[in-house]
Chains A and B, each alone.
Chain A
Amino acid sequence: MSDVVIESVQREGLKAEVLIGDELIVRFEGAMREREPEDWLAKFFQRITGLIRDRTVIILDIRDLQYMNATAFRVLIPWLRVLRSRPKPCRLYVRTRASVIWQGVTISSLKAISGDMITAETDDS
């Protein structure tokens, strides 16, 4: 099944998309650097949660996310708890790019608190 974009959010310098096909893919492109992303980003994650249904895996594709500030990062962290506390806990496959340095460091730190629910797949390009 080919992926269909079912949600797309455009913010200054950032594009966020949700695609559904065989997998549920959340893709961010650009830079996440807003002063107060809590409102829209938390709601965006909430909408994704509503799309999970009986899936147990979400793919988070941040390969083209050049930067994410700590303010946005702290909205992502509680969402992990939501995914984990579902009746069928959901795992997150995070697609990263080796050349975008912050991604490797940040995601490996995130794995330290979320155990095996996060798997990182690094694109060498």
Chain B
Amino acid sequence: MKLEFHMSFVPEWRSIELMRSSIESILEAAKCDADGRAAIAMISAELMENAYKHGAGGESAIEYNLDLSEEDVAVTVSNQVHPDGASKTEKLTKTIEWIDTFDNPLDAYIEKMKILYDSDDAGAGGLGLVRIAYEGHCKVTCDIDSGTNQIEVKAALLPGEEYK
């Protein structure tokens, strides 16, 4: 199976759910198994939600890419950073670095949930990225082009992992 899907869209919040359910349908048509469909749709939705929340807004588009083959899965979402979004971008990169400090994503996920469990701050962010790492079995990376002020967040299936 090989699937490449690209879409550029000016987001509305409700379009993210449409994208999530559409991606799940596309994957079903491509004979992707149920675990893979659920994981990739979740990864896609969480990344698009982040891009929507922290992006430049207005008519600025979100670029969505899905590359799927027998061995590799990569979901990439890129968008223009909001002019006042430097602190959010820094928070995102720090969360990714924090996830990487754990031996495995489950430990990071549980630690993040413990932080939320012990806190009244439901606004504390980062759970989506950790969820992608653990539930999606992915390595999350991000690349920021300071020249164009574009951020690209990529979730790629970890080597040796597969959706059962």
Residues of A in contact with B (beta carbons under 8 Å apart): 12-13, 31, 33-35, 38, 42, 67, 69-71, 73-75, 77-78, 80-81, 99-102, 105-106, 109-110, 112-114
Q: Does B160 contact A (CB under 8 A)?
A: no
Given contacts A70-B46, A101-B35, 18 further A-B contacts (CB under 8 A): A33-B20, A35-B53, A67-B41, A69-B49, A74-B124, A74-B127, A78-B117, A99-B34, A101-B37, A105-B135, A106-B131, A106-B135, A109-B110, A109-B113, A109-B135, A112-B106, A112-B110, A113-B117
Q: Which 9 A-B pairs have the closest CB atoms?
A: A101-B38, A70-B128, A70-B127, A77-B116, A113-B113, A75-B122, A74-B127, A105-B135, A112-B110
A67 to B21, CA, bound (A): 10
Q: Does B148 contact A (CB under 8 A)?
A: no
Distance in Å: Cβ of A123 to nearest Cβ of chain B: 15
21 A-B Cβ contacts within 8 A? A12-B14, A31-B17, A33-B16, A35-B52, A38-B122, A38-B123, A42-B122, A67-B41, A69-B45, A69-B49, A70-B46, A70-B127, A71-B128, A74-B116, A78-B122, A99-B34, A101-B37, A106-B135, A109-B110, A109-B113, A112-B113
- Supposing A33-B17, A35-B53, A42-B122 touch, asked if A69 and B46 sit within 8 A by C-beta, the answer is yes
* B122–A74 CB distance below 8 A: yes
- Supposing A78-B122, A101-B38 touch, asked if A113 and B20 sit within 8 A by C-beta, the answer is no
Residues of B in contact with A (beta carbons under 8 Å apart): 13-14, 16-17, 20, 34-35, 37-39, 41-42, 45-46, 49, 52-53, 106, 109-110, 113-114, 116-120, 122-124, 127-128, 131, 134-135
- Supposing A77-B113, A110-B113 touch, asked if A102 and B122 sit within 8 A by C-beta, the answer is no
* A114–B117 CB distance below 8 A: yes
Distance in Å: Cβ of A78 to nearest Cβ of chain B: 6
In the complex, which residue of chain B has the Cβ closest to the Cβ of A38? B122
